[in-house]
Amino acid sequence: MSTQLTERLSSAWISLSTASPLPWLVLTMAVYLGAMAVYKKSGNRPMLIPVFTGVVVIVGLLLVTGTPYTTYRSGVSLLGLMIGPATVALAIPLYAQRERIRQLWLPITAALLVGCLVALFSALGIAWLFGGSAATLIAVAPKSATIPIALPMAERFGGQPSLAAVAVAITGISGTMLAPLLIRLLRLRDPAVQGFAIGLTAHAIGTARALQINPTMGAFAALAMGLNGVATAVLMPLVLAIVPWI
């Protein structure tokens, strides 16, 4: 009886969500707000960041209801449209830090080049060691760039965009979780240094977290995220050209 009831509920939900995009949109926002409440109540524990817990809940719901990802994606397309305005809004904290950015242009440039190259080569090397195909290697290479840059880059060189999206998401979530521990171990005190490191490795997810902690940290995280996206677009073709196993 319970199995039949579950199947009926699943069928009813799929019919409802297919007819209108509103159910998945409302559900996603409700899950995120719930995850945020749990995160704050836990004392902002890194392992409970809303992006991670929210994704776990949504994926579980997709599996339980048997909903295809394409259906879910079309249902939350409105949220995707908000990425552009949200990214543009990052210019506000960046403008407030313009003098500090001018002073630190040399270490910023050095950290950007090293960080971008390490991200590209490490992704390719790890995937190759585990026996990944050329398409898999190309898909995971831009993992430290934001999704609007990583997906087109992966697709352009023959990678799998869906795999690239997963790699970017895992990188952002794990980077945001591990950042507080690594910052303590490395004894980084300057919010600008902390933010740039987070934005360089954990892109948009890390930047969102940095903005919650400190305005300076958030500004430099946004700077690193933007610069690394450009650097990845420029350096990835060169790296792929010299890597012998692709």
3-state secondary structure string across the chain: CHHHHHHHHHHHHHHHHHHCCHHHHHHHHHHHHHHHHHHHHCCCCHHHCHHHHHHHHHHHHHHHHCCCHHHHHHHCHHHHHCHHHHHHHCHHHHHHCHHHHHHCHHHHHHHHHHHHHHHHHHHHHHHHHCCCCHHHHHHHCCCCCCHHHHHHHHHHCCCCHHHHHHHHHHHHHHHHHHHHHHHHHHCCCCHHHHHHHHHHHHHHHHHHHHHHHCHHHHHHHHHHHHHHHHHHHHHHHHHHHHCCCC
pLDDT at 122 over 90: yes
Q: What percent of the chain has pLDDT over 70?
A: 91
| pLDDT tens sequence across 189-208 | 999 999 999 999 998 889 98
pLDDT of residue 4: 59
CA dihedral sign, ordered 138, 143, 145, 147: positive
Please, are residues 143 and 168 in contact by the beta-carbon 8 Å criterion?
yes
For helices 161-186 and 50-65, the axis angle rounded to 10 degrees is 150
For residues 109-126, give the mean pLDDT: 94
pLDDT at 17 over 80: no
CA dihedral sign, ordered 185, 232, 72, 82: positive
pLDDT of residue 20: 58
Range with the largest mean pLDDT of 60-74, 146-160, 189-203:
189-203
| pLDDT tens sequence across 160-198 | 888 898 899 899 999 998 998 999 999 989 999 999 999
pLDDT of residue 66: 80
- pLDDT confidence band for 230 (50 / 70 / 90): very high
What is the distance between the alpha carbons of residues 43 and 54, in angstroms, rounded to a whole number?
A: 17
Mean pLDDT of the chain: 85
pLDDT of residue 153: 92
pLDDT at 1 over 60: no
Domain ranges across the chain? 2-81, 89-242
For helices 215-242 and 191-213, the axis angle rounded to 10 degrees is 110
Instruction: Return the minimum-mean-pLDDT range out of 1-10, 61-70, 138-147, 225-234.
Output: 1-10
Better-scored residue on pLDDT, 118 or 43: 118
pLDDT at 70 over 90: no
